[in-house]
Chain A
Amino acid sequence: MDRIITLIDGSAYSGSACDHAAWVSEKTSFGIDLLHVIDHRPGGRSGPVNLSGNLTLGARSELLEKLTKHDEEGARLARERGRVIIEAAKTHLEGKGLTDIQTKLRNGDLLQAVQDVEEKARVIIIGKRGEHADFAKLHLGSNLERVVRSAHRPVLVTSRAFKEPRRATIAFDTGSSVAKAVDHIAMGKLFAGMEIRLLHVGEATAGLMAAMEAATGKLRKAGYDAAFETLAGEPDAIFTEKSASGEIEFLVMGAYGHSRLRNLIIGSTTTQMIRSCPVPVLLFRPDMNA
């Protein structure tokens, strides 16, 4: 059951998510599951304005009926819309010659939907921004962090447009997430034929250098053209600059190693990197079964 779970909504990023899914599928021969979660919260939005503030005979049943009708219409519209989105994505992928495509249209919470299907998944693909995010402000989609934090599989966060990468850069540190990432690359098929660069920005301690050398050795043994590099400076700035200049085409990194509280106060490196690097990012978490 090797599936590529691709999350799509009606946003500009959905097309790119599909293109990335096609690329992963071609290289790994995993099938694609297109998943659209219908964004409809029953009772979540209020119906027609009625501020009369009075209670009449049989007020409760009347109100219940009215709200049900309102939700019913909304739900039907949302479902129609979801079907259009998912069919369009399927047609798009079939146009690229892919055949093993399944579509899944689900109601409810996105996290729940992902948890329900991820057992069969090898990788989860999600666009960097969703329908409701403000592109101009470089805000990330509100669901991105929730999905990454709860998922037990690697998550590929796609950039706005797909361009086939020839080189993948691992943002290297000594954490267990990155070790997971290295193992995943060494054993998997996705990166076959790509150059792998290990890049660490910051202090180059002896331990780090040893770990980096070992990781590079492991990748070379697996047949990759691998090399490593350390640079001094601010990680954000250097990664952003290298992504913008085209030197980094595809980023692999550990994700959300800290608690939400810490992120709330000092901000998350992961979020910052995803936001400012205009390239696809493959995220690994320590508790993921790659």
Chain B
Amino acid sequence: MHFLRLDAFDWTRTRQEWVGNIRGDLLAGLVVALALIPEAIAFSIIAGVDPKVGLYASFSIAVLIAFTGGRPGMISAATAATAVLMVTLVRDHGLQYLLAATILAGGIQIAAGALKLGNLMRFVSRSVLTGFVNALAILIFMAQLPELIGVTWMTYVLVVAGLAIIYLLPRLTKIIPSPLVCIVVLTGLTLYFGWDVRTVGDMGELPDTLPVFLIPDIPFSFDTLMIILPYSAAVAAVGLLESLLTQQIVDDLTDTPSDRNRECVGQGTANIVTGFLGGMAGCAMIGQSMINVKSGGRGRLSSFAAGVYLLFMILVLGNWIAAIPMPALVAIMIMVAIGTFSWSSVKSLRSHPLSSSIVMVATVAGVILTHNLAIGVMVGVFLSGIFFAWKISRIFEITSVLSTDGRTRTYMVRGQLFFASTEAFTKAFDFKEALDEVTIDLTSAHIWDISSVQAVDLIVLKFRREGMTVNLVGMNQASETLVDRLGEHDKPGAFDRAIGH
């Protein structure tokens, strides 16, 4: 029975994750489902598809991730981050290509999980993550603008009324979800007075049956693959980024650890099945996961329940959902944008190191310009890498002593030698000083790459050209860091020898 690894499977933990918090999970699942409906509709509208595509996706992803995900208590569904990536695909090629791209994105995510790419998250710094969150909030807000420009004055009144209900009602009672009250009140008023505002029904088809399993109706050719691959890759990357980031947030909120690579595979599985069920790609949702934790959801059951409630409500209440006025949705999405945005990051822009602030702002700018969170994150990671290298390159010092007879000089090199510090390194030597002998002591230096090896060679040659004898001391210890497998601790004490000497 080795291949099943049953003894490795922890029944007690699995049981705890599912039924450890039944009451809290079922209740929180309901709050989440009520909030998922407007979001799924709104994100479908962003992507340019019928609301049912987002609703089916949210149902399917929420239910599947309950089983496959690595983070109990986290909510996944159709999201804004993935929806904005698919706008042009839907516009140019249609829904079927979106479904195919969703399935392919799932495949890429599973591969990423199998390759344990979740561990790469360590290279995404806190500033990049903050930038990601802020950019996401801005994207969600910007997606509401079409509903706010060139509409009747009544729309503005209703949006403001909706926001007032959402933010003021919890001061009176915390038993009823205020977004739900916002929807019910605004829908009731609109129907009663017959106000002229757009409704969800105007935005496209709503689900009237259970989702069915269908293979996307596309030509299975290389051309098709080339059309969807860029979209799938972007969706897969953004989906995993937002999922792993949300996972970190839920880990922090609940002070419990979770499995990143399992989450990658879980997200992929959920997206593949969702594509076949006629849903669009999704990922974990920061706002919804926070609502879930706040409402008392902790286990896998909360996500499962949210998905099931969602499907039940849209099938039973379909006609009523079509009557929801768009201003109610817009108000809720503005709330999500505000709740997602990290306001403290704006306040700390001045107090944080300039490099961190630049990374954060650059990440946001990258996203806003491209509408692609993956590109923003790439910009941020790239910049933080450069800044880091720049800072480390300054941990470097050369001192020297002249012998009493004035014939030999000993240079003592301390610090990190790599591509970014070689120029300063080379400049620190005085080649024009007339000496018989030069000693370069590298015992306290770390040579990290070929650039620095070449720099050392060059310095030796330059001294020789001046007719001096050059002694290199400590080259062996200094170059131990060159070994790429340093981190694997293949020899006991390798790390101490390399870093600590």
- Collect the chain A residues with CB atoms within 8 Å of residue B179's CB: 53-54
Q: Say whether B6 contacts A67, CB under 8 Å.
A: no
CA distance A179 to B4 in the complex (A): 30
CA distance A63 to B175 in the complex (A): 17
A266 within 8 A of B: no
Q: Say whether A57 contacts B24, CB under 8 Å.
A: no
Q: Say whether A53 contacts B35, CB under 8 Å.
A: yes
Q: Say whether A55 contacts B256, CB under 8 Å.
A: no
A259 within 8 A of B: yes
Q: Say whether A55 contacts B340, CB under 8 Å.
A: yes
B209 within 8 A of A: no
| Interface stretch of the complex, out of B164-172, B272-280, B429-437 | B164-172
Q: Say whether B338 contacts A57, CB under 8 Å.
A: yes
- Collect the chain A residues with CB atoms within 8 Å of residue B32's CB: 53
Q: Say whether A42 contacts B335, CB under 8 Å.
A: no
Chain B 282-308 residues near chain A, CB threshold 8 A:
287, 290-291, 293-298
Select one of A46, A52, A58, A260 contacting B174, CB under 8 A. A52
| Interface stretch of the complex, out of B246-254, B320-328, B476-484 | B246-254
Q: Say whether A46 contacts B1, CB under 8 Å.
A: no
Q: Say whether A53 contacts B295, CB under 8 Å.
A: yes
The smallest beta-carbon distance between A71 and chain B, in angstroms, is 6
A45 within 8 A of B: yes
Q: Say whether B343 contacts A52, CB under 8 Å.
A: no
Closest chain B residue to A110 by CB distance? Answer: B12
CA distance A42 to B175 in the complex (A): 24
The smallest beta-carbon distance between B20 and chain A, in angstroms, is 7
**SS class of chain B's interface: helix, strand, loop or mixed?**
helix
Q: Say whether A43 contacts B31, CB under 8 Å.
A: no
Q: Say whether A55 contacts B287, CB under 8 Å.
A: yes
The smallest beta-carbon distance between A64 and chain B, in angstroms, is 6
Q: Say whether B293 contacts A54, CB under 8 Å.
A: no
Interface residues on B, range: 35 or more
Chain A 32-91 residues near chain B, CB threshold 8 A:
41-47, 49-61, 63-64, 67-68, 71
Q: Say whether B177 contacts A259, CB under 8 Å.
A: no
Chain B 148-199 residues near chain A, CB threshold 8 A:
166-167, 169-170, 173-180
Q: Say whether A259 contacts B256, CB under 8 Å.
A: no
Query: Which of B1, B169, B178, B253 counts the most chain A CB atoms within 10 A?
Result: B253
Closest chain A residue to B295 by CB distance? Answer: A51
CA distance A58 to B12 in the complex (A): 36
Q: Say whether A64 contacts B253, CB under 8 Å.
A: yes
CA distance A61 to B290 in the complex (A): 11
Q: Say whether A42 contacts B6, CB under 8 Å.
A: no
CA distance A68 to B174 in the complex (A): 20
B229 within 8 A of A: no
The smallest beta-carbon distance between A35 and chain B, in angstroms, is 19
Known contacts A51-B177, A56-B167, A56-B339; is-contact A43 B253 (Cβ 8 Å): yes
Q: Say whether A54 contacts B6, CB under 8 Å.
A: no
Select one of B1, B21, B252 contacting A45, CB under 8 A. B21
- Collect the chain B residues with CB atoms within 8 Å of residue A42's CB: 254-256
B-contacting residues of A (Cβ < 8 Å)?
Answer: 41-47, 49-61, 63-64, 67-68, 71, 142, 146, 259-261, 264
